[in-house]
Chains A and B, each alone.
Chain A
Amino acid sequence: MTAQVEIRDRRWPWYAAVSAIVVALTLSMISPADAVQGDLIRIMYIHVPAAWLAYLAFTVTLAGSIGYLATKRMVFDRLAASSAEVGVYFTGLAILLGMIWGKPTWGVWWTWDARLTLTAIMFFVYVGYLALRRATLDPDARAKRSAILGVLAIVQIPIVHFSVVWWRTLHQPPSIIRPDGPAIQDPLMVVALVAGVVAFTVVYAALVTKRMELARIEDAVVAREATLERPVAGEAVVAPDLSPEPGGAR
């Protein structure tokens, strides 16, 4: 456990994130409307980055899990956990935005295509990951167990992916034909999309940085509480103190 915990509040991740968002938002508003979808295409500039971040975040979680299992350094555990939390958030958002995009475009909130189904499955896999972290209190056990789950999830997800795609090819949806996505004709649309992806990658980095800082401070709080409480530990059994939120969605 790190003895010295820096309390300085670093602001630069937020500044970077806000300026990136401003650029991306401007570009998404001045880019032309789509020939087929009209202005609905603008939802793409937030939906696609959210979906991209979902995949990026879970890849980082895998890297953090492997890093922890290989080195036993807590910083990797915090990276994996922070990235998973941010990833669950963006996965949920990608699904939600996809539904909001789908309703006016196809007339339904949900279609059972492979990608949508898989994203929903992935969402729940990592909700389970976060739930496991909440349920496990001991930091070392939590790190190890969630790292193993992080690896198991990634081993199993390609198989889930494969089986769902295969299932979909056998049962093509009868009525709703989902286009592969709009054809992007205007260069400004490409610029806006790329700007969105870059901007929200910066936002992701900022969120993970801050979330890791939070995890570090929380771990320090738990460690310090443990040293302070030691003298009275044998005295009595008290009700579990939930004040610093042991789960805290670490």
Chain B
Amino acid sequence: MSGQWAWVTFASLVFYGSLALFVGSIVWRLRRARARLEELS
């Protein structure tokens, strides 16, 4: 049973970890783009 939970945990880590990375990349790019826009205006 614990082996199964290891797989479930692994899958969840992959899922939520990559989701966090993806969200992070969008937030980061948004910040940078906003800052650039402010700079230009």
A69 at the interface (CB under 8 A from B): no
**Cα A50 to Cα B18 with chains together (Å):** 12
CB of B12 within 8 A of CB of A46, answer yes
How far apart are A200's CB and chain B's nearest CB, in angstroms? 9
Size of chain A's interface in residues, with CB distance under 8 A? 37
Partner among A39, A40, A211, A245 whose Cβ is within 8 Å of the Cβ of B26 = A211
| CB pair A89 B22 closer than 8 Å | yes
CB < 8 Å: which of A43, A93, A220 contacts B37? A220
The CA-CA distance from A214 to B32 in the complex, in Å, is 10
| CB-CB nearest in chain A for B28 | A214
Contact of B7 among A100, A217, A245 (CB under 8 A): A100
A39 and B5 within 8 A (CB): yes
By a CB distance below 8 angstroms, the chain A residues around B3 are: 104
Q: A221-B36, A228-B40 are in contact. Are A38 and B15 (CB under 8 A)?
A: no
With A93-B15, A217-B34, A224-B37 given, is the CB distance from A43 to B29 under 8 Å? no
Contact with A along B5-23 (1 / 0, CB 8 A): 1011011101100110011
Interfacial chain B residues near A213, Cβ < 8 Å: 30
Decide yes or no whether A218 CB sits under 8 A from chain B: yes
Beta-carbon contact of B8 and A42 below 8 Å = yes
Task: Please give the number of chain B residues whose Cβ is less than 8 angstroms from any Cβ of chain A in the complex.
Answer: 27
The reply to whether A100 and B11 form a contact with Cβ atoms under 8 Å apart is yes
Do B4 and A104 have beta carbons less than 8 Å apart?
Answer: yes
**A residues apposed to B, CB below 8 Å:** 5, 7, 9, 14, 38-40, 42-43, 46-47, 50, 89, 93, 96-97, 100-101, 103-104, 203, 207, 210-211, 213-214, 217-218, 220-221, 224-225, 228, 243-245, 248
The CA-CA distance from A46 to B22 in the complex, in Å, is 16
Q: 5 tightest A-B contacts by CB?
A: A39-B4, A217-B33, A43-B11, A224-B40, A100-B11
A9, A50, A103, A220: which contacts B15 (Cβ < 8 A)? A50
Taking a contact as CB atoms under 8 Å apart, the answer to whether A217 and B37 are in contact is yes
Q: Shortest Cβ distance from B15 into chain A, in angstroms?
A: 5
A5 cross-chain contacts in B, Cβ below 8 A: 37
Q: Is there contact, CB below 8 Å, between A97 and B33? A: no
